[in-house]
A and B are shown apart, each in its own frame.
Chain A
Amino acid sequence: MRSPNLYAFLVLAWMIAFAGQPAGAQETASGKPILFGSDIEGGGPYLFIGPDGKPLGFELDIVRALEKRMEIPVRHLQYDFASLVPGLLKGDFAMAMNGLEVTPERKEKVRFTRPYYIYRQQLAARAGEKRFEDLDSAMGISGLRFATMEATAAERFLRQKGVDLATYPSPTEAYAELALGRIDAVLLDLPMAVFYAKKNPQLRFCGPPVEPGEYAIAVAPSNPELLEKLNSALIGMIDSGELRQILEKWDLWDEVQVSLAGGGLHDHSQSQKWSVFTILQMLMGGALITIALTVCSFAFAILIGFPLALLRVYGPSPLRLLVIIHVEFFRGIPVYLLLLLVYFGLPELLPGLSLNPFVASVIGLGLNYSAYESEIYRSALQTVPAGQWEAALSLGMDRITAFRRIIAPQAMRVALPPMTGDLVALFKDTSIAGAISLVELNKQYQILAKSSLQFLEIGLMTALIYLVLSVPLGWLSRHLEKSMGKDENN
């Protein structure tokens, strides 16, 4: 899956950024293999794993042809699609080729070869969709929810139009969501639409493909030799008809590809500039979602965790066993996997159930943290000596009163410090909800950073917002801890 790759990447990127020269970029001259970065997950028909387990794809065919013409071996490096440009810039690989659309933002960062394919964008809807016929009529309907893949030209286009938009790390998730009815229309590059949606009887294409653009190979600006070699190899492939053969083999040749011979579309659109105010405004919107998600998930975790702890400590042994299973299960699986199970898996089990991303996130995070909470309450309850029960009962209290007035308050004092830690951890863990298209703070950051390619500035702004929120959260809990620690004077 891609988002965690991105976190790892960000950390690495910031550590390595100042460490030295890009490694991949300098291997061209020596005849050693060079790397091309591409994302194989959900990567049909560009580069994907075929039914026999071997990589396939029209871009792989193009790479093999380029290899021959340049007489340089080229190896594949698996890389998160949305991170291809920064990955290229920091030298993880020498060239990026992955249906990478030539956009003004990308042109500011990297050098593109001449195009090898002219893409257009195809709108898809559910087979029974009656409200719209094509992109234009769909745009006119309010309340329609669109989806696409993150960091694509389609995302850029839809954001400019200001529609209600969800983005996913791969086309498969977008189409799955469309089939489930959680979104209404998916706009994606034609090759993906043909590969993933055309054969699906639940879906249909709406209108002709629109908004043409170019796919080209990206190389680092510091590597003009490779750019030159790739360009001359591409010209050779176009002139000899080899490129056309490959595209025809993959059913991708159409009349617009003719312009490839002339070097493409010669589009000169301007890059989008985001003002600091707009960025902050969007990040704040994400922060609100993050706060709401934290509060609701923690409340849910307590609501489940507390009764579980009671059953674990005071319940009959078969129920105790169930609680142990619950705790070990939800503590033992990654919360990311749990989220995907709740959001994508649950509707398979219960058709018709359509959880929105927020509710699914609250359930996933809440279940995960309920395991930790119930363990905290269990050990806190067990720290209260049995003698306290006897003292309370000897005064004539019933068990519920004794628990409420004598046992629980003492356990609470023990439980509060670790709960505090959990709340802060949960606050940060909410960033995982971006995986199911909930635009919380971290997802908002990814959207903004990947669209503008300003990873550092927006990253630091986002970090600042996280800190501004989590540090007072720490203060608040420490204050609570202290006031709970004081003796009640009844």
Chain B
Amino acid sequence: MDLKTSKGSRKAIELREVWCRRGQRSVIQGVNVSVGGGETVALIGPSGGGKSTLLRCLNGLTEFASGEISVCGRRLLPNGKTPFADLRYVRTSLGMIFQDYRLFPHKSVLANVMEGPISVQGKTHDEARALAEGLIRRVGLADFAGQSPGSLSGGQQQRVAIARALAMKPTGLLCDEITAALDPQLKSEVLGLLAQLREEGLTILMVTHEIGFARKSADRIVLLDGGKIIEDGPPEKVLDHSESERTREFLQQVIG
């Protein structure tokens, strides 16, 4: 895979003073944060703190009200004004993985992975098939290529979703609590895959509650609460040496 960007060399994602409203409520309140190319950043924080919203703003699924967002060198405009060509570039550069997989139920595992290259990138059926078969092998599901997604376990479905995102040859992934719905054993097969992708240089921004994984694999941890960034730093600093009362409170709740 063509992922030669050296860590932190160029900003893959950059937000400045970003505000985002849902109805009357400001879900994101003036956030400044950036993710370097090839970096893995874990976005943690209490529920309702704005983590998912922030992630969805980055590929235009949710509109933001003001501020500056640039992703992979393209500016996103507030209030849904981003031209579709830019939106498409951003979306194919950063694949999105959802908590509930969202595979296409009317298509086989193989066809799910082929769908993007064919209908977005205009690849031929044979090209897409070769690419998809490689990716399905890669995520360890070669035997399941012809099956319907519904017959797979949650962990397997999530690996298909990752393969589907990788088929677009993205430079990074946006992961929205992608292991939250999985049993511990299935979690590890997905997280293991994510760790591999990180090694290969993919930029990863993940909303997660897996503090253990974040400590081990993330370059930085960002804590978002009440729409504001409370912490932003290396795992050991945020997790072990935080000076903020709220951070310690939150960590205590999560770790138990």
- State the A residues within 8 Å of B (CB): 385, 387-388, 390-398, 401, 405-406, 409-410, 413, 487-490
Count of B interface residues, CB-CB < 8 Å: 32
- A-chain residues with CB within 8 Å of residue B125 when the two chains form the complex: 490
In contact, B108 and A396 (Cβ under 8 angstroms): no
In contact, B107 and A490 (Cβ under 8 angstroms): yes
In contact, B106 and A413 (Cβ under 8 angstroms): yes
Assess A390 versus B106: contact at CB under 8 Å? Given A395-B92, A396-B120, A487-B148.
no
A388's nearest neighbour on chain B, judged by CB, is: B102
What's the nearest-Cβ distance from chain B to residue A130, in Å? 65
- B-chain residues with CB within 8 Å of residue A385 when the two chains form the complex: 102
- A-chain residues with CB within 8 Å of residue B96 when the two chains form the complex: 390-391, 394
Those 5 A-B pairs whose CB atoms lie nearest each other, nearest first? A391-B102, A394-B96, A490-B111, A395-B116, A396-B120
**In whole angstroms, how far apart are the Cα atoms of A396 and B164 in the complex?**
12
Mask for B99-141, Cβ within 8 A of A = 1, else 0?
0101111111011001110111100010000000000000000
B125's nearest neighbour on chain A, judged by CB, is: A490
Query: Can you give 12 A-B contacts (C-beta < 8 A)?
Result: A388-B102, A391-B102, A392-B104, A394-B59, A394-B95, A394-B96, A395-B165, A398-B88, A405-B119, A409-B106, A489-B107, A490-B108
In contact, A387 and B107 (Cβ under 8 angstroms): no
In contact, B146 and A489 (Cβ under 8 angstroms): yes
**In whole angstroms, how far apart are the Cα atoms of A406 and B59 in the complex?**
19
In contact, B84 and A398 (Cβ under 8 angstroms): yes
- A-chain residues with CB within 8 Å of residue B100 when the two chains form the complex: 387
What's the nearest-Cβ distance from chain A to residue B25, in Å? 21
**In whole angstroms, how far apart are the Cα atoms of A482 and B171 in the complex?**
40
- A-chain residues with CB within 8 Å of residue B95 when the two chains form the complex: 394-395
- A-chain residues with CB within 8 Å of residue B142 when the two chains form the complex: none
A391's nearest neighbour on chain B, judged by CB, is: B102
In contact, A395 and B120 (Cβ under 8 angstroms): yes
- B-chain residues with CB within 8 Å of residue A390 when the two chains form the complex: 61, 96, 98, 102
Answer whether residue B54 sits at the interface, using C-beta atoms and an 8 A cutoff.
no
In contact, B107 and A394 (Cβ under 8 angstroms): no
- B-chain residues with CB within 8 Å of residue A397 when the two chains form the complex: 116, 119-120
- B-chain residues with CB within 8 Å of residue A487 when the two chains form the complex: 106-108, 111, 148
Answer whether residue B209 sits at the interface, using C-beta atoms and an 8 A cutoff.
no
**In whole angstroms, how far apart are the Cα atoms of A55 and B159 in the complex?**
82
What's the nearest-Cβ distance from chain A to residue B63, in Å? 13
In contact, B108 and A489 (Cβ under 8 angstroms): yes
In contact, B108 and A393 (Cβ under 8 angstroms): no
- B-chain residues with CB within 8 Å of residue A396 when the two chains form the complex: 88, 91-92, 116, 120-121, 168
Give 13 A-B pairs besides A393-B91, A395-B116 with Cβ atoms closer than 8 angstroms. A387-B100, A390-B96, A391-B103, A394-B61, A394-B95, A394-B165, A395-B115, A395-B165, A396-B120, A397-B116, A405-B119, A487-B148, A490-B118
What's the nearest-Cβ distance from chain A to residue B122, in Å? 11
- B-chain residues with CB within 8 Å of residue A387 when the two chains form the complex: 98, 100, 102
In contact, B106 and A410 (Cβ under 8 angstroms): yes
In contact, A391 and B104 (Cβ under 8 angstroms): yes
